[in-house]
Amino acid sequence: MTFIRTPSTDEDFFEQNRVAAGYVPNYVGTFAARPAVYEAWKQLNTAIRSSMDLRRYELATLAAAAALRSSYCSLAHGKVLAEKFYSPDEVAALVSTPPADPVDRAVMAFARKVALAADRVTQADVDELRGVGLSDDDVLDVALAAAARCFFSKTLDATGTAPDAAFHSLPTQLREALTVGRAVDAPG
């Protein structure tokens, strides 16, 4: 459900954006009114991800999404982390507890700050990332991932786009920890 009505008649658009899991995510319906914007978003997001290690991208994205209170994006990216890199309990903890690894901790803190207060990022923030081994390119990648997440998360929340009911299949503790804003759509 969304706060706005979007076209539902362009079956090609919906079929082209059916996820591997076999359903059309709610966000696709939101962007159905502006397919060119959605295509531009996919290109931007692909370009950002292509220069980053997937785990780092997902950590930065989760940190930004959780800071923005975007359940949809927190659930989606937390799910990836739980499937590929961590246990569900470890991912659930990342929402409220900084990771032990100093690089991951610095990346997530920086992504949160970019999402919530980019105007307050200082040289000291960048130097902290450099101090744990990130290059200037790496810092830019984290900033890009967090800034891009702001666009997508805020668009979904501003239009009332609820996280997909498919997220109910996540382990309860993970789903509850990652639901930081809007509730997940009701099943069925």
- Strand, helix or coil for residue 136: helix
Q: Are the C-beta atoms of residues 146 and 60 closer than 8 Å to each other?
A: yes
- Higher-pLDDT residue of 117, 9: 117
Domain 53-178 = CATH 1.10.3720.10: no
56-80 residues labelled b (16+ CB within 10 A) or e (exposed): bbbbbbbbbbbbbebbbbbbbbbbb
Distance CA 85, CA 78 (A): 10
What whole-number percentage of the chain has pLDDT above 70?
Answer: 97
User: Across all residues in the chain, what is the average pLDDT?
Assistant: 94
Binned at pLDDT 50, 70 and 90, residue 187 comes out as confident
What separation in angstroms does the CA of 72 have from each of 105, 132, 159, 175? 22, 30, 12, 11
pLDDT band at 20 (very low <50, low <70, confident <90, very high): low
Residue ranges per structural domain of the chain: 53-178
